[in-house]
Amino acid sequence: MITIEQIDSIAKEFEERLGGVTDASSLEALRVEFLGKKGKVTLFLRELGSIPPAERSEFGKRINDLKSRVEFQIAEYSSKLKPVSGKKSDVDWTLPGIQPAAGRLHPLTQMIQKILEIFTRMGFDVVDGREIETEFYNFTALNIPLDHPSRDAFDTFYTRHGNLLRSQTSTVQIRIMEKHKPPLKIVAPGKVYRPDTVDASHSFMFHQIEGLLVDERTTFSDLKGTLAFFLRELFGANTRVRFRPHFFPFTEPSVEVDMSCFNCHGKGCNVCSRTGWIEVLGAGSVHPNVLTAVGISPKKYQGFAFGLGVERMTMLKYGIHDIRYFYENDVRFLNQF
Ligand SMILES: [Zn+2]
């Protein structure tokens, strides 16, 4: 038969013994001595059955209190124990760590973010547009005549119900100008679709960034300054920019924008086809017909628009020779960015 005195004396013994523990192994020995299968506290619990029912609950409470106190103090003491000096640790802290495989942003996403960051610094707002559009937004409102070849089914994906997958991000210009009055200063990134045969430089889907500025005073030289600043931020401070006359239905006058080759600095190399210049984007003053189509008076307002290909910019910047690498999800390629 156990007595209350025995329980108290075991409790006292445990306290004294714990005070003498100096390392993890003697603490473990103490734990086994009190809480192990044949431990002193465990034996008390086993004998509980032989105690008369009237006193059982009082004894049970005391023994369980003792058990939890011993468990708690062992855990607490264990966390305070310092590793004994001179003893070899199981862990070699000098080994290199195990690096988890971290994901990262796709090179195209990184390039889009970089480009948008430059334009937002110049005060442009980033806006989103839809990928399924109507002929009105993709062509008509952009001053593209009914007989223009780009409207052909060979050049645009049409849906069964007469809508289409946008072939350019210029559609966003129209949607924004319909809803908001000038002054407007936006950039619109997104996917565009064209039924091109996939090869090293073509894909049926790629990314563009459209820019639009409309207000009462903006001139062609503002366009040149804006694009020169942008290209210098992206390709380096020594980048020179030139405009070549071109034709786009939705801008007048229109230009193709070249920058000096970042690889040879104008001397001529493989990157620039030995010309010293690289064609990077299209731009121009917003055509009066486009402003009229959205109810903005071309007599009062003017502005400029530009569009660039994200894949092309990324390929140029990093010397990538095949557009298909972007879409294959090959980590050997993606890991490099
Ligand atoms: Zn070059």
Domain termination site, one of 64, 80, 96: 80
Are residues 269 and 131 part of one domain?
yes
The owner of tokens 């994200």 is 310
Centre of ligand 1 to C-alpha 265, Å, is 6
Domain limits at 135?
107-334
Q: pLDDT for 115-156, tens place per residue? A: 999 999 999 999 999 999 999 999 998 888 888 888 887 789
Q: Flag whether 279 is in a domain.
A: yes
Are residues 138 and 56 part of one domain?
no
Centre of ligand 1 to C-alpha 206, Å, is 25
Q: pLDDT for 245-255, tens place per residue? A: 999 999 999 99
C-alpha distances in Å from residue 325, one per residue of 76, 107, 174, 204, 235? 57, 10, 33, 14, 22
Q: Flag whether 199 is in a domain.
A: yes
Please determine, for residue 69, whether its predicted confidence score (pLDDT) is greater than 70: yes
Centre of ligand 1 to C-alpha 25, Å, is 71
Task: Report the b/e string of 49-68 with b at 16+ CB within 10 A.
Answer: eebeeeeeeebeebbeebbe
> Which pair of structure tokens corresponds to residue 73?
């103090």
Centre of ligand 1 to C-alpha 234, Å, is 17
C-alpha distances in Å from residue 273, one per residue of 73, 164, 199? 78, 35, 19
Length of the chain: 337
Domain termination site, one of 80, 97, 117: 80
Centre of ligand 1 to C-alpha 236, Å, is 14
Q: Flag whether 327 is in a domain.
A: yes
Domain termination site, one of 28, 45, 80: 80
Q: pLDDT for 161-200, tens place per residue? A: 889 999 999 999 999 999 999 999 999 999 999 998 999 9
Are residues 293 and 174 part of one domain?
yes
The residues near 204 (Cβ < 8 Å, ≥ 6 apart) are: 157, 193, 194, 195, 196, 198
Are residues 131 and 49 part of one domain?
no
In angstroms and rounded to an integer, the radius of gyration of the C-alpha atoms of the chain is 38
Q: Flag whether 236 is in a domain.
A: yes
Q: What is the mean pLDDT of the chain?
A: 91
Q: Where are the alpha helices (DSSP H) in the chain?
A: 4-19, 24-35, 40-47, 53-80, 107-121, 135-138, 171-179, 220-235, 288-293, 310-318, 331-334
Domains in the chain, number? 2
Centre of ligand 1 to C-alpha 316, Å, is 11
Centre of ligand 1 to C-alpha 260, Å, is 8
Asked if 104 and 322 touch (Cβ cutoff 8 Å), the reply is: no
Centre of ligand 1 to C-alpha 319, Å, is 12
Centre of ligand 1 to C-alpha 320, Å, is 15
Are residues 41 and 162 part of one domain?
no
Determine how β-strand 125-126 pairs with β-strand 205-215: unpaired
Are residues 139 and 25 part of one domain?
no
The residues near 315 (Cβ < 8 Å, ≥ 6 apart) are: 321, 323
Tell me the mean pLDDT in the region 41-56.
87
Please determine, for residue 213, whether its predicted confidence score (pLDDT) is greater than 70: yes
Centre of ligand 1 to C-alpha 268, Å, is 4
Q: Please return the burial class of 26, using the count of CB atoms within 10 Å of its CB with bins 0-12, 13-18 and 19+.
A: middle
Centre of ligand 1 to C-alpha 256, Å, is 18
Are residues 242 and 206 part of one domain?
yes
Centre of ligand 1 to C-alpha 87, Å, is 64
Q: Flag whether 91 is in a domain.
A: no
Centre of ligand 1 to C-alpha 278, Å, is 8
Tell me the mean pLDDT in the region 280-286.
95
Are residues 180 and 230 part of one domain?
yes
Q: Flag whether 94 is in a domain.
A: no
Centre of ligand 1 to C-alpha 277, Å, is 7
Determine how β-strand 184-193 pairs with β-strand 277-286: unpaired
Are residues 122 and 16 part of one domain?
no
Angstrom distance (rounded) from CA 325 to CA 308: 19
Angstrom distance (rounded) from CA 18 to CA 156: 82
Phi and psi, residue 90, nearest 5°: -70, -20
Q: Largest Cα–Cα distance in the chain?
A: 108
> Which pair of structure tokens corresponds to residue 48?
């509980």
Centre of ligand 1 to C-alpha 276, Å, is 5
Angstrom distance (rounded) from CA 7 to CA 55: 14
Tell me the mean pLDDT in the region 40-58.
87
Centre of ligand 1 to C-alpha 275, Å, is 7
Are residues 42 and 117 part of one domain?
no
Are residues 36 and 183 part of one domain?
no
Are residues 225 and 300 part of one domain?
yes
Q: Flag whether 258 is in a domain.
A: yes
Is the model more confident about 81 or about 60? 60
Centre of ligand 1 to C-alpha 194, Å, is 29
Centre of ligand 1 to C-alpha 324, Å, is 23
Q: Flag whether 100 is in a domain.
A: no
